[in-house]
Amino acid sequence: MGTHSDLKTLAFKVIRIRSLIAEALLNEVKTAVESVEEVDSCRVDLVFDPPWSKEKLSEELNFYKTLSKSNI
């Protein structure tokens, strides 16, 4: 079973990985749109629906706690 510190580290890593994936996706979309001849530049915004909140982070941490208790 992981310690509380291990869970926080794991959650941080998962969130960081998701952040890197989202950033890469946004850059790919921006590059693709700007490759269109008629487009000079664009701005790509990532929008969460429903909106993301700190409470969602708590839900995710609880998920990882459940995983650690189940010895997966």
pLDDT at 70 over 70: no
| Cα 8 to Cα 3: distance, rounded to the nearest angstrom | 9
SS (H, E, C) 16-45: HHHHHHHHHHHHHHHHHHHCCCCCCCCCCC
Segment 2-31 shows an average pLDDT of 81
> Does residue 11 register a pLDDT over 60?
yes
The helix (H) or strand (E) run that includes residue 15 is helix 4-34
Q: pLDDT for 23-56, tens place per residue?
A: 999 999 999 999 999 999 999 988 878 887 767 7
Higher-pLDDT residue of 68 and 39 is 39
